[in-house]
Amino acid sequence: MVQDQQSAEDITQEVFVMVFKNILAFNERSSISTWIYRITVNKCLDHIRSKKRVKRSGFIVSIFSSSDDSPGAEIPDFVHPGVVLDNREKSKFLFAAIKKLPENQQTVFVLAHLEDLPQKEIAEIMDLSLKAVESLLQRAKGNLRKLLADVFPDGN
């Protein structure tokens, strides 16, 4: 979700510390994996929000900076470990487009398609109804199709 290996490792450490400190508070309303996913998603979203705040608080804005808002304009160097070598170039555009989705659509898409979680578990993790998860997933797919239409006009 954070698309940066060092940040992902830091967040992983924070999650394990939080799980260790709060394991006695786990109330077993859901599975332990769902509880850990929820903690992880929250930590990732907090990290992403804090990065956005830092970007917005910059003092110098270059008048020569590109205002290009296409998915390929800011291609991250991070590639998800599950991406096959042949698809790495395409995945860079996909991750750039995912970053442009609203936060809840990003989360649902990543959990469903990158983490391969069932929609029912995603609903538990995000504390949403199954219908809400289905709707968010459909909107995310539609938005990604629009964002990537210029990059992959043939749909591949």
Stretch 124-142: mean pLDDT? 95
Answer CATH for 5-57+74-148 from 2.40.50.140, 3.40.50.1100, 1.10.10.10, 2.130.10.30: 1.10.10.10
Cβ 37 vs Cβ 125: under 8 Å:
yes
Assessment of whether the complete model's pTM goes beyond 0.85: no
Q: Return the closest-CA partner of residue 48 out of 8, 90, 105.
A: 8
pLDDT tens digits, residue range 35-90?
999 899 999 888 888 877 665 545 434 433 444 444 444 445 555 555 555 566 77
What are the tens digits of pLDDT across the range 14-36? 999 999 999 998 888 888 988 99
Between CA 148 and CA 156, with CA 153 as vertex, the angle to 5 degrees is: 80
User: What would the mean pLDDT of 124-152 be, rounded to a whole number?
Assistant: 92
